[in-house]
Structure 1
Amino acid sequence: MADDVCWIKTENTLDDALTPEMKAMICREDGTLHRLYQSLLAWPAPMLSADQFYRAVLHSDDSPLGLYKSEFIATYVAILAECTYAHAHHGENFLNTAATREAGRDILSALERGDLASDAIDPDMRAMAIYTRKLSLNPADMTEADIDQLRQAGLTEAQIVQTNQVAASFGYWVRMINGLGIQLGGESIGIKPDSLKQIVNHQTAHSR
């Protein structure tokens, strides 16, 4: 048993009953067993659908926001939920899609401080962060005015929908991670830069 993965007992080996798609999903690019999915092996039924939805929301070729801004929202949800695991993984993805890691660190630092007025954050991303914070912490208080604020910041209808989808879906991921006590371990943090670049290139090519 792997007792350092999460708060429930997990297996180190893959179940022969898992489909090839699930096995490919559970194994990371470096060959290690993905700790997040390892924690779900006790009941794997939702894993494939959850992973497909995750990839559709963040990695779709026709992403209106692009990976950089999507990872910005995902990381902010993790910060708001104090989800160390998601903060580390998606924060690394954000840094690797930023213009420079230094610029990315300035933005993450502002989010961690709760300083959404920081000059490090562009106006459209600030509006996305304000929307994300309210949806994550006070969902019952959302109004049409919150959508209007995104429009005024220059977001298209498609970008507004993706902002909503990333913020809302990561509410699931951070609650699942925090609720099972999934821990950071020896696995590599974030998606490999080459794979991130491939996603970004596909999204950029589709937007032309």
Structure 2
Amino acid sequence: MAWIKEIDYDDSKGKLRKIYDRIKGPGDYIDNILKVHSLRPYSLEGHMALYKYVLHNSTNETPVHFLEALGVYVSMLNKCSYCVDHHYQGMKKLLKDDEKSEKIHSALKNDKPEMVFSSNESAVFSYAKKLTLNSATMTKNDIVKLRNAGLADGEILEINQVVSYFCYANRTVLGLGVSTDGDILGLSPNDQTDEDNWTHS
């Protein structure tokens, strides 16, 4: 559900149907954040490529559950409940620990990641907050802080791209009125063994 016209799976054809078949979940299900691109299939393809390769790439060195937690935090800062709900469930599925997941959610909601993450991990959340809310004030020193927290430059790039992706996804959702109505929360293209597998499960 969104504020603009969308094309459902059963009504799709051509390039859109091919992409839908590539990304669909059980029962030909398509996430609302993806369906909102249906009038411009190339936009959907671009979104999915970015999402898959930034968050679910097998060569990432940052654990996926941590990237999901980072996405939840950025989405909270942007007040995007759609992405918070989806990616909290994704993180929870990966962690397989409801109590730990709830503690992380509570800490992030209260803007206190240090309650559940180490000081080095908390430095990542500080970087994410500044990049999300005050991007024009970023300096080289923000990168130095991450290096001092033990991150290599490749890991810093991963963090930067996840924060940037979620800002993009949040603005897609908020700007087009995408809701979770009818969505299955927590599905993702999580097959890290196959970069080309965009199926949601």
Could you state the TM-score of these two structures normalised by the residue count of structure 1? 0.84
Range with greater deviation from structure 2 (45-54 or 159-168): 45-54
Name the counterpart of 1:34.
31
Q: Which runs of 5+ in 1 are unaligned?
A: 203-208
Q: Does structure 2 conserve the Cα–Cα contact (< 8 Å) formed by 1:69 and 1:125?
A: no
Residue 18 of structure 1 aligns to a residue whose secondary structure is helix
Q: Give the distance between the partners of 1:158 and 1:68, measured in 2 at CA.
A: 18
Per-residue deviation, residues 139-159 of structure 1 (Å, max 9, x unmatched)? 011011111111121112211
The equivalent residue for 1:52 is 49
Tell me the C-alpha RMSD between the 2 structures.
Answer: 2.2
Q: Could you tell me whether the CA contact under 8 Å between 2:55 and 2:64 is conserved in 1?
A: yes
Q: Unpaired runs of 5+ in structure 2?
A: 195-201
Q: Which moved more, 1:65-74 or 1:33-42?
A: 33-42
Which of 185, 188, 192 pairs up with 2:184?
A: 188
| 2:75–2:84 contact (8 Å) kept in structure 1 | yes
Structure 1 CA distance for aligned equivalents of residues 146 and 98 of structure 2:
26
How do 1:18-167 residues align onto structure 2 when only pairs under 5 Å count?
18-19=15-16, 21-98=18-95, 100-118=97-115, 120-167=116-163
Length, aligned pairs only: 194
After TM superposition, where is structure 1 displaced by more than 3 Å over at least 4 residues in a row? none
Query: What does the per-residue CA deviation read over 1:96-116, in whole Å, with 9 as the maximum and x for residues that have no partner?
Result: 222622112111111111123
> Could you tell me how far apart the structure 1 residues matched to 2:102 and 2:149 are?
23
Deviations 1:84-138 (A, max 9, x none): 11111111111222262211211111111112332x1222321111000000000
